[in-house]
Structure 1
Amino acid sequence: MNFSDWLHTFCLAVIQGLTEFLPISSSAHLILPSQLLGWEDQGLAFDVGVHVGTLLAVVYYFRREVSGMAMAWGRSLGGPCDAEGKLAWLVVLATLPAMFSGLMFAGLIEQYGRSVLVIAAATLIFGVLLGWADSRRQECRGIRELTRRDAVMIGMAQALALIPGTSRSGITITAALMLGFERQSAARFSFLLSIPIIFGAGVLQVARLSEQGSGAHWLQIGVGTLVAGLSALACIHLFLKWLDRVGMMPFVWYRLALGVVLLLVWLAGPGGLV
């Protein structure tokens, strides 16, 4: 591997680590290097590695909550369910819509949803929706007030993230804000929801990788995993720290600008108008 390959590895791992949890769409950002700079796809093994990195980051950051929820969930199988056990069950419930939608529509999305135009449109539309939800928020509910109805509604919103450009974190935070949750609770539940989703996506990628075989550069993958994990960890910490101060509008304006750039890329390409 030459310097250019290492630069691509580092940049793509940072992009994955940051955009996995910020409400700005990872697919919208990962398509830009290939469209604007001509970078080649790093391969399925690299995708698995950076997803492992982001998964380890979110589990580590919420390690106390995750361990408490896991133990409480286990206790609830044979006895009463406390607040942490209830939250664990609600995470499971909210994961089901995306899981079933992924199994049913993954092929369709893969075939028709990867175009620059679709990603640009989703980036703009769901960015506007995030801004509307944040401006109309009531912020009267905390994460402990989450109900089964809330979990289903947020889970159904999460299923929309199968559309590239939507942003999984963005759409789940949007749904939680619309349901009256405070920003911190909306973000924290979104991050907890990411754990089974990233894990499930990683399992599917590993299955595909085992079918295809691997001529992977393991040092490159290891570096990508480490960089993605560290950038994701920093992203989660800073996002939660600054969230109440800056709100969602900086991300909304960023999404609008990004969506316009993607539209221009599409118009300038062979499938566009010029």
Structure 2
Amino acid sequence: MTELFPVSSLGHSVLLPAWIGGSWQHLVTENATGNSEGSPYLAFIVALHVATAAALLVFYRKDWARIIRALVGVARTRRVETSTERLAMLLIVATIPVGITGLALEHTFRTLFAKPLAAAVFLTLNGLILLAGERLRRRSEQRATAAALPGGPGAALAADTRTEGAANRKLETLSYREAGVIGLFQTLALFAGISRSGITMVGGLLRGLDHEDAAKFSFLLATPVILAAGVLKLPSLAGPAGAHIHGQVIVGFCTAAVAAYIAVRFLSRWFTTRTLTPFAVYCLLAGAASAVHFA
């Protein structure tokens, strides 16, 4: 569930075994070693990621059917004419930065930072990022409201509001540059403790999307990234890393798929009326407690 909740699944995959300790401790060590590609724990986590992507595909199956049809249409006409075609292109643009960075640096980031203390620090930072995103979003809304009032601050304030991102923009009104910036935000999730969904939601909020559209764009954007990363590493399950754990992988996959589907269904409703603040508080408390424990 932490793959979609804005609390960092990678951070939890490091911190939970470390907190439990005992025979679980070696899982953390395996995940952060230079030869971790042969780690059964990493292979297991990969299977969970693929399950999450599958759940997202099922939940957003109608959206993805429209997006794929739109991509075919763009390839045929070489023009972007509809809102769905624009959304499809925005997703491609936003996926490029994390795709390149992930391929080049994922192993390096994991071996350097997938350690309990580092994950605790980044989880605390994740909480601060979520709180900052909410605060800046509120300020942007207040400025937009003030600029719209008769006798308000006027054109200068309205221009300032547009600079930060107009409030309650529609998803398809994002520019390609803004989508690319949100994609760059997503690369921070390579640090264990920084949430992919959280950081991309903050990026969307800062460009004027409401919480519902920011969450939807985050989940749509996460689907190809999680799926590609998982499929790329799935062959490890056929090697020594996957030996003797196929039963556990199947159980974990099924459990993760159900949990992820429940999570995305819950969160898609949560963000119609609520904010990131409760998740930020959790990250601050869990991160600070873990930092003290592992310091």
Question: Normalising to structure 1: TM-score of the pair?
Answer: 0.85
Deviations 1:118-147 (CA, angstroms, capped at 9, x unpaired): 212211122112112112213421212122
SS of the aligned residue for 1:247 comes to coil
CA distance in 1, matches of 2:127, 2:107: 25
**Cα displacement (A) at 1:108:** 2.2
2:256 is the alignment partner of 1:228: yes
AA matched with 2:280 = V
Cα distance change of structure 1 residues 43 and 111 upon mapping to structure 2, 3 Å threshold: closer
2:76 is the alignment partner of 1:93: no
| 8 A Cα contact 1:113 1:164, kept in partner | yes
**Cα displacement (A) at 1:245:** 3.0
Pairs within 5 Å for 1:104-123: 104-123=104-123
| 8 A Cα contact 2:110 2:191, kept in partner | no
**Cα displacement (A) at 1:70:** 0.4
Structure 1 equivalent of residue 53 of structure 2: 55
**Cα displacement (A) at 1:153:** 0.7
| 8 A Cα contact 1:44 1:205, kept in partner | no
| 8 A Cα contact 2:102 2:187, kept in partner | yes
**Cα displacement (A) at 1:212:** 4.2
CA distance in 1, matches of 2:45, 2:3: 12
| 8 A Cα contact 1:27 1:164, kept in partner | yes
The more displaced of 213-222 and 170-179 is: 213-222
Cα distance change of structure 1 residues 47 and 216 upon mapping to structure 2, 3 Å threshold: farther
Structure 1 equivalent of residue 12 of structure 2: 29
**Cα displacement (A) at 1:178:** 1.1
**Cα displacement (A) at 1:227:** 0.8
CA distance in 2, matches of 1:146, 1:190: 13
SS of the aligned residue for 2:242 comes to coil
CA distance in 1, matches of 2:212, 2:65: 20
Cα distance change of structure 1 residues 119 and 213 upon mapping to structure 2, 3 Å threshold: closer
| 8 A Cα contact 2:94 2:180, kept in partner | yes
Deviations 1:8-57 (CA, angstroms, capped at 9, x unpaired): xxxxxxxxxx1111111112222233212132536344223212211111
Cα distance change of structure 1 residues 198 and 259 upon mapping to structure 2, 3 Å threshold: same
| 8 A Cα contact 1:73 1:86, kept in partner | no
The more displaced of 25-34 and 245-254 is: 25-34
Deviations 1:44-81 (CA, angstroms, capped at 9, x unpaired): 44223212211111001101000100011011101133
Gaps of 5+ in 1: 1-17, 268-274
Deviations 1:222-268 (CA, angstroms, capped at 9, x unpaired): 1111110111111111111122433111001001001112102212x
Give identity over the alignment, percent. Answer: 30
**Cα displacement (A) at 1:159:** 0.9
Match of 1:180 among 208, 232, 237: 208
SS of the aligned residue for 2:214 comes to helix
Structure 2 equivalent of residue 12 of structure 1: none
Cα distance change of structure 1 residues 121 and 43 upon mapping to structure 2, 3 Å threshold: closer
AA matched with 1:191 = F
Pairs within 5 Å for 1:210-221: 210=238, 212=240, 214-221=242-249
Cα distance change of structure 1 residues 216 and 126 upon mapping to structure 2, 3 Å threshold: same
Structure 2 equivalent of residue 196 of structure 1: 224
AA matched with 1:72 = A
TM-align CA RMSD: 1.7
Gaps of 5+ in 2: 28-39, 142-166
Match of 2:234 among 191, 197, 206: 206
CA distance in 1, matches of 2:241, 2:255: 24
Cα distance change of structure 1 residues 214 and 72 upon mapping to structure 2, 3 Å threshold: same
Cα distance change of structure 1 residues 248 and 34 upon mapping to structure 2, 3 Å threshold: same
Question: Normalising to structure 2: TM-score of the pair?
Answer: 0.80
| 8 A Cα contact 2:15 2:120, kept in partner | no
SS of the aligned residue for 1:136 comes to helix
| 8 A Cα contact 2:43 2:236, kept in partner | no
Match of 2:283 among 244, 250, 255: 255
